[in-house]
Structure 1
């Protein structure tokens, strides 16, 4: 499959935090030339089958997407739920979702949205509360929901969205670009790079539970103990909220390098190294300092002996909602930049960071 088809397949899969199995199995099936092993937290490690004593470079991305989990089933058959990841209440009501029961069946539902006819004056003036929302799958009793559809406490829930590609503007739309974009990029880099010509040993890490505290990355950093880490992430685009001068995350304007977020202050030597490689290869980039948010880089750069880390973001509109947009050009540029970084990195270069 080509790069867009790969992203489509990944985007359409369902993988709430802690329930990334569909994504993991798909990646394993498509990386059969590699040694792929999963751990108990649902991280997937992708290694070159040839043993290597070269310095280790992790290519990290996370497989989970923001979602929800079933908290309970009410007498009338509707389902109460809790968030998995950073949702804002305005992005939840009146959207279609998929509940995955423990038989691996996908059941469609709609997050309740009270019609204005039934709202009190006070309700019309305020935002709904999470505990006021339920998911309706069309049933009318607890028995129908549990016995006919097998819904149980603990079932994961994800947005019900299908991928599409607009060839006219070279833009893709779908769910979970945070961070199936990263998954696709890591897969493509590992398939395209020539391991024998590298001075480093790349290891793919498809990490779990990023959206609920960077948990998989913490395990992976301590397990692999890499010498350098490259984090690929679907990062928030700001071009529909800021003017062209202020925007540092416009889709189609280049990959995004973070110098600051809530989890990491980036090493300026690493930033300079990456910028120079991007310039040399005519890869546009944008630099952003963010007061909030974090990535798996927040765990790698403070693990073990301190791991030099760079976060390469692909600007993505409306992350942590049902529908996201991204530029195919940015996606492909991130793949090229990842390969060029691996080709330029050496043990001596990494020691100098």
Structure 2
């Protein structure tokens, strides 16, 4: 799983510019799916049929990450930028970024004033991102052009995946776990079910543009038919000392079983089945009630006459930052619970409200 996450997260694919991730997922899923399609905006849909009759299960994870886009080139070669997805302006200063140009990836930094200027500044001021800039080492628009950088080029964090502390902690740090971690789980699921020893059909949707309003899922769902659905996504934990935290969701606490978020009230029968299976299989789990987040499940539950929909969440610290942290044990718990869920189906399986 670690290798898959590392390969996925080293790709630069913010919302609307997921081409490298779409290509990777298509190639990876092509050998383990019965059928695979890519639509005009980059959504990948892979289907796998079991060896006996049963329901059609939609499983979805989004492939885009939060990022930026080059908006303007200043006369001194600095780049102004616009956001792609949700960011906290407080963490933007002095961060390394990658500009994905037609000539290749270019390293940049989001600039900040030197510490020596602090006494001349307002100490508690948080600068709006519109006041910030990306420095790619150029001194003029011409030098920016020589680097192959143009207005409209996508920008992502320039961090790689590493073990946090050591391999023994089980935790990893990097960018884009939201939601390449979910994509990794979904790819592993397809690979583990190659025996087709399950009932029904899996429809795996790797969606684009989730971070800008669930747009990719909304497009894909117009062309998909399914009976039940489960979305996979990361979720923000509340186990650190900040005063807004309530310690209701912990990293290392197991798979998150969604009850409620800003986009979805999870279907009670889906939630109950996941809890039943987690207890039966001795899989670590925890409940999630958090209105500060939304997932593609919000779009799914409104499609196809309201198919019963749930969410399995991967606990994460420092979400939407260059140093997101997840626990590989939580990731494994999500994968095991999802496999158990798929294998629990038979021809009579239904989820009644």
Structure-1-length-normalised TM-score: 0.93
Q: CA deviation at 1:347?
A: 4.9
Q: Deviations over 1:137-170 (max 9, x none)?
A: 0111111001x11111110000000111231211
Q: CA deviation at 1:275?
A: 0.4
Deviates more, 1:257-266 or 1:112-121: 112-121
Q: CA deviation at 1:345?
A: 2.5
Q: CA deviation at 1:242?
A: 6.6
After superposition, residues 147-162 of structure 1 pair within 5 angstroms as 148-162=146-160
CA contact (8 A) 1:116 1:124 kept: no
Q: CA deviation at 1:239?
A: 1.5
After superposition, residues 293-312 of structure 1 pair within 5 angstroms as 293-312=293-312
Counterpart for residue 349 of structure 1: 349
Tell me, in whole angstroms, the C-alpha distance in 1 between the residues paired with 2:102 and 2:153. 7
Counterpart for residue 140 of structure 1: 139
Q: Deviations over 1:108-133 (max 9, x none)?
A: 00001112434674543311111110
Segments of 5+ residues of structure 1 without an aligned counterpart are none
Q: 1:41 to 1:153 in 2, by over 3 A?
A: same
Counterpart for residue 40 of structure 1: 40
CA contact (8 A) 1:217 1:296 kept: yes
Counterpart for residue 14 of structure 1: 12
Q: 1:177 to 1:238 in 2, by over 3 A?
A: same
CA contact (8 A) 1:18 1:209 kept: yes
Tell me, in whole angstroms, the C-alpha distance in 1 between the residues paired with 2:290 and 2:45. 29
Deviates more, 1:224-233 or 1:75-84: 224-233
Does structure 1 residue 320 correspond to structure 2 residue 320? yes
Segments of 5+ residues of structure 2 without an aligned counterpart are none
Q: CA deviation at 1:251?
A: 1.3
Does structure 1 residue 202 correspond to structure 2 residue 202? yes
After superposition, residues 105-144 of structure 1 pair within 5 angstroms as 105-118=104-117, 121=120, 123-144=122-143
Counterpart for residue 75 of structure 1: 75
Counterpart for residue 254 of structure 1: 254
Tell me, in whole angstroms, the C-alpha distance in 2 between the residues paired with 1:89 and 1:153. 21
Deviates more, 1:343-352 or 1:247-256: 343-352
After superposition, residues 214-225 of structure 1 pair within 5 angstroms as 214-225=214-225
User: Would you say how many aligned residue pairs link Structure 1 and Structure 2?
Assistant: 348
Tell me, in whole angstroms, the C-alpha distance in 1 between the residues paired with 2:26 and 2:241. 38
